[in-house]
Chains A and B, each alone.
Chain A
């Protein structure tokens, strides 16, 4: 292999005969690369009011809230639902009634040890409002679980 040959055909001058033993994790490091990790996915879990409460963002962790039995991961909206956010009351709780009645007061929240709020006394337009919020949350945040009563866990 004369050196002049290498000059004329640069692409063939030093091909990697053996594949690199570790797969590169960046596309700049090689064509046959593999991302280091899978895209993050959350495991769909069943929560009860008691197990949902820790997820209120106070410890810097995930923030979850539930509407109509569907649990949403609203960590992306920490500004709203985090400890100092406008709607921070809802973090880690069942926010169905508050969403329906468009109110963020503490009276909208059911205490943790009581059975789930059945929402029977809501008017039809309030139920529609709540469904609208469920749609908004489904598009914006991740559905990551369902909420059942403390005794049904």
Chain B
């Protein structure tokens, strides 16, 4: 018996070789799988869920990192209490904000000898100068006046905003130029700061809507045309921003009492989902909390450093855009905004949010952007362009794509792989230019992203893409996906047949979210809660209605723990991530 078996099992060298090859293939297949960027067990519990819930509501959800018992991060650093603290003079290294190089202040005596350039006026000194100039020339009074900021994103916006905040002067900003008439009618600002090209339009509005007897002061950034200056009536004073700043440098600085973190420093007006014009009252504490929240969007290993450059598609006139700007200021990065983010422009302008717009921040002399804060339309445009470009190399592209897809299915994506060097880097450089090499994270907010776009976008860009839900009332991210979350689920449809958008993630690190209007019976039987999002936390500002509408005060208007309704419907999945519903 044994002999016959041995006759069949002829083990010669070829058998041994094939056996070794089979063993190697088996081992390599099992062990050489790429490690996921974040262990999937962590993605199964992204929120900390409250253990009791009110009838008709879901439980209270918090970010798992914060926890139900944890305190919300209120500020990025224990020393940052008000807006002015976000400008840190010890940030070594120059950086560029739009077109202005900001160098650390050299006016400090001990450093005069180490500075090899002439003492330049530092950023904080410019803020103080603008503040003093405004108080002296524009006749503003600290803690009393209000100023309407009609500026596009620029260094002057930041200077004016910080200057006004340091003197406790309320500033108004508009998220869209269509709100100007209503806001001018209902709120009478003591002064208006605007660009030279908008001067004729502003003057026209003032003549139409206000009486001749009322005094107005307009501070103009840039050179107003002689025509505009000639048409100025007697009750309007025009000042140039450069003159205001020069006056502040020349004269003695006016010091005002330091504002408290709970002081309201701005009201940001926006058009709500129901068409009403609403304003978000933001305090210093709201913005510092928002900065802390944005700081935590990127994981600790890849956090913001002064070597980064941030480009934002969100205007500084909006709440979230403002917080992004201040985050850039605090982190010491260079910063600029995209062309499409400009709130004010002459005439009708249709901005196409495409990949060219996504890199339009590079029109300023900033270093190549490393972190992009863009809109879903930008992401779609970039992803489709890169894929189209990559598909041109018809021989290698299918292999590259398959390799990347298998990596993403395992939760792994990298920008330094073989196929990136061969196929994708070239495609990215064609579409994004020099940004392709330096880009290291993309944070998307401003609308839902199609679920089918997420994996192609992750492969095309191969950097962490964070899906954020923001709102004009909340300075930080409301919901934010985990930076390394590469999960992709089978497409689902809602009852009305529309496809669900891509999932976002747990609530931001310093907000808590609950859903109201939930079907109790369905939830008790294990279904996902679906309802209207209500939020509470340090970054949430107070809602004010523009006068002229009936002001309905909420019952808990004075309570610290009042919930604010965001007009969004969402559902929570069992792993704690939210999906915003579009219908």
Contacts and interface: CB of A to CB of B under 8 A. Distances in A.
Interface of A: 7, 9-13, 15-17, 19-23, 27, 31-45, 142-144
A32 B49 contact: no
A36 B574 CA distance: 7
B574 A35 contact: yes
Given A37-B526, A38-B528, 20 more contacts: A10-B32, A15-B406, A19-B488, A21-B490, A22-B490, A27-B40, A27-B41, A31-B36, A31-B411, A32-B409, A32-B488, A33-B40, A34-B489, A34-B573, A34-B575, A35-B44, A38-B523, A41-B58, A41-B59, A42-B53
Contacts of B49: 38-39, 41
Given A11-B34, A32-B489, A36-B574, A41 B403 contact: no
Contact of A35 (B21, B51, B55, B575): B575
A61 B39 CA distance: 37
Given A12-B402, A35-B574, A38-B574, A43 B36 contact: no
A149 to B, nearest CB: 20
Interface string B22-58: 0001001100111010011101110001111111001
B527 to A, nearest CB: 9
Contacts of B411: 31
B405 A15 contact: yes
B243 interface: no
Given A31-B411, A34-B573, A43 B488 contact: no
A22, A33, A142: residue with the most chain B Cβ atoms closer than 10 Å = A33
A27 B44 contact: yes
Contact of A7 (B25, B41, B405, B409): B25
A140 to B, nearest CB: 12
B574 A34 contact: yes
Contacts of B25: 7, 10
B207 interface: no
B53 A41 contact: yes
A31 B403 contact: no
A41 B51 contact: yes
Nearest to A1: B399
6 contacts: A11-B32, A11-B406, A34-B573, A38-B529, A41-B49, A43-B53
A42 B57 CA distance: 11
Contacts of B489: 19, 23, 32, 34
B399 A12 contact: yes
Interface string B472-487: 0000000000000011
A60 B402 CA distance: 54
Interface of B: 21, 25, 28-29, 32-34, 36, 39-41, 43-45, 49-55, 58-59, 399, 402-403, 405-407, 409-411, 486-490, 520, 523-524, 526, 528-529, 572-575
Contacts of B33: 11
Contacts of B405: 15, 17
A27 B41 CA distance: 6
Nearest to A3: B25
Given A31-B411, A35-B44, A142 B52 contact: yes
A19 B490 contact: yes
A143 B573 CA distance: 24
Contacts of A37: 526, 574
Contact of B52 (A10, A22, A35, A144): A144
A19, A36, A45: residue with the most chain B Cβ atoms closer than 10 Å = A19
Contacts of A16: 406, 409
Contacts of A9: 399, 403
B486 A31 contact: yes
Contacts of B29: 10, 13
Contacts of A144: 52
Nearest 6 A/B pairs, CB to CB: A15-B406, A12-B403, A27-B40, A32-B487, A31-B411, A41-B59
A24 to B, nearest CB: 10
A20 B44 contact: no
B520 A43 contact: yes
Nearest to A143: B52
Contacts of A27: 39-41, 43-44
A44 B52 contact: yes
A11 B29 CA distance: 7
A135 B529 CA distance: 30
B44 A44 contact: no
A36 B36 CA distance: 22
B489 to A, nearest CB: 6
A96 to B, nearest CB: 20
Contacts of A21: 490
A41 B45 CA distance: 15
B40 A11 contact: no
B488 A45 contact: no
Given A42-B51, A142-B52, A15 B409 contact: yes
B44 to A, nearest CB: 5
A17, A41, A44, A142: residue with the most chain B Cβ atoms closer than 10 Å = A41
Contacts of A10: 25, 28-29, 32
A23 B490 contact: yes
A43 B526 contact: no
B40 A31 contact: yes
A65 to B, nearest CB: 15
Contacts of A39: 49, 51
Contacts of A42: 51-53
Contacts of B41: 27
Contacts of B50: 41
Contacts of A142: 51-52
A43 B25 CA distance: 54
A22 B489 CA distance: 9
A47 B50 CA distance: 20
A139 B580 CA distance: 33
Nearest to B417: A11
A17 B404 CA distance: 12
B63 to A, nearest CB: 15
Nearest to B526: A37
A124 to B, nearest CB: 28
B53 A44 contact: yes
B164 to A, nearest CB: 44
Contacts of B526: 37-38
Nearest to A38: B574
A9, A17, A34, A35: residue with the most chain B Cβ atoms closer than 10 Å = A34
A31 B412 CA distance: 10
A16 to B, nearest CB: 6
A21 B490 CA distance: 6
